[in-house]
C-alpha cells in the first residue's frame, strides 16, 4: 500500500487572501517557518501560491546603487521566461499584494494521491510545495519536499511487513513463501530460491517500488532461467 499525501502533509497551514499586503505575507511565512503559503478566495479555494522566492525578488531587483542595472544570470532569465510562473521576476518584484506575487494557477494535488505522484508533479512543474485540495477545490493542507522525505523514515519492520505480506504474500507466485525478507536502514535484502528467474526479478522490482525503500540487495537464486523468451515477445 503506497503512502498517501494525506499521511505526510501539513494540515495546519497559514493562508492569505489576494489583497494581503506583501509584509503580512512575509510575516506569515516567517511565523510558520514555511517556504510557501496558499492564496485562497472567500470560499477557501486555492487561487495561487506565494513562495519565499517570490518575496525575495523584491530585494533581488532593488538597485543598491543608482543606475546599477542588475540583470539576473542567463539561467534565471530563462527560468522566468519559460517557467510556469508566467510573470517575469522584475514584474513580480513590483508586486505589493499576494495576488500580484502569487504563481497562478496553482499546481495542486488530492489527499488520496500516492506520494510518488506528488514527487513527479513537483519535478514536472519545478515547484517545491503543493497545496492539497479536496474534490470541491477547498484547501486541506500543504505538502512540501521535506514532508515527502518522511517516507524514508518508515520503520524497517513496517517495510518488511509490507513487502512480505502485501507485496509478495498477495502476488500471483505460489512459491514466494520461499523468499526471506530483511530490512536494515531502509535497505531490503531478498534471499531464497525460486523456480523461475522471472519470478525473482519481479520480486526485486516489486520490493524496490515500496515507499521508504532505499535500495534492494537481490540475493535470490532460481532453478529455471525463463527470461530468454522475453526477447521474442
| pLDDT tens profile 61-85 | 665 444 556 566 666 555 555 554 4
| pLDDT tens profile 86-104 | 455 666 777 789 999 998 8
Q: What is the mean pLDDT of residues 12-25?
A: 95
Runs of H (alpha helix) within the chain: 5-8, 22-32, 52-60, 74-82, 89-93, 98-101, 115-125, 145-148, 156-161, 197-208
Q: What is the mean pLDDT of residues 160-175?
A: 77
User: Percentage of the chain with pLDDT > 90?
Assistant: 52
pLDDT value at 175 more than 70 = no
- What sign for the dihedral angle of Cα 124, 127, 130, 131? negative
Q: What pLDDT does 85 receive?
A: 46
Q: What is the mean pLDDT of residues 188-210?
A: 91
Give the cell for residue 171: 502476488
Q: What pLDDT does 68 receive?
A: 59
Amino acid at each position: 500500500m503506497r503512502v498517501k499525501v494525506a499521511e505526510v502533509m501539513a494540515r495546519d497551514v497559514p493562508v492569505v487572501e489576494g489583497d494581503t499586503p506583501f509584509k503580512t505575507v512575509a510575516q506569515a511565512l516567517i511565523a510558520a517557518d514555511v517556504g510557501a503559503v496558499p492564496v485562497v478566495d472567500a470560499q477557501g479555494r486555492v487561487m495561487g501560491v506565494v513562495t519565499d522566492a517570490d518575496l525575495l525578488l523584491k530585494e533581488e531587483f532593488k538597485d543598491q546603487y543608482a543606475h546599477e542595472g542588475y540583470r539576473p544570470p542567463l539561467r534565471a532569465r530563462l527560468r522566468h521566461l519559460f517557467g510556469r510562473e508566467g510573470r517575469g521576476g522584475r514584474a513580480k518584484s513590483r508586486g505589493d499584494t499576494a495576488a500580484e506575487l502569487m504563481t497562478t494557477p496553482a499546481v495542486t494535488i488530492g489527499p488520496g494521491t500516492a506520494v510518488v505522484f506528488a514527487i513527479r508533479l513537483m519535478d514536472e512543474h519545478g515547484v517545491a510545495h503543493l497545496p492539497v485540495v479536496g474534490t470541491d477545490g477547498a484547501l486541506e493542507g500543504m505538502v512540501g519536499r521535506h514532508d515527502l522525505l518522511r517516507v524514508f523514515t518508515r520503520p524497517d519492520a513496517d517495510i518488511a511487513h509490507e513487502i512480505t505480506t502485501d507485496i509478495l504474500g498477495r502476488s500471483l507466485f505460489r512459491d514466494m513463501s520461499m523468499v526471506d525478507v530483511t530490512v536494515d536502514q531502509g535497505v531490503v535484502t531478498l534471499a531464497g530460491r525460486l523456480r523461475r528467474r522471472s519470478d525473482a526479478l519481479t520480486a526485486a522490482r516489486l520490493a524496490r517500488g515500496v515507499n521508504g525503500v532505499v535500495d534492494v540487495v537481490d540475493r535470490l537464486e532460481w532453478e529455471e532461467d525463463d527470461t530468454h523468451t522475453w526477447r521474442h515477445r
